[in-house]
Amino acid sequence: MKSSLLVLVVLVLLSCVPPVRSGPNPYIRKAFSTCWKGKGTCRKLCWTNEEHRILCDVAQLCCVKKKMLQVEFTR
């Protein structure tokens, strides 16, 4: 009787606990989604104030803010 009551209490408590969010930690995800020596971010589309120079993956662009890009000198 005591063991069945204990099992019932545990099941009730487990049903009240919210589910855990799956996926990697946001800090770890940000560290692995950076590019261009940490100045860019890998995304599917770049914002209007960003440009892409290289590809992060097959489906993602390395989006770098225009002010972070190096100035190219031509003669």
Residue 4 CA from chain centroid, whole number: 43
- In order, the DSSP letters of 29-41 are HHHHTEETTTTEE
pLDDT digits (tens, 9 = 90+) for 15-59: 776 666 666 667 777 667 788 888 888 888 999 999 887 888 788
pLDDT for position 32:
74
Answer whether residue 72 shows pLDDT above 70.
no
pLDDT for position 23:
63
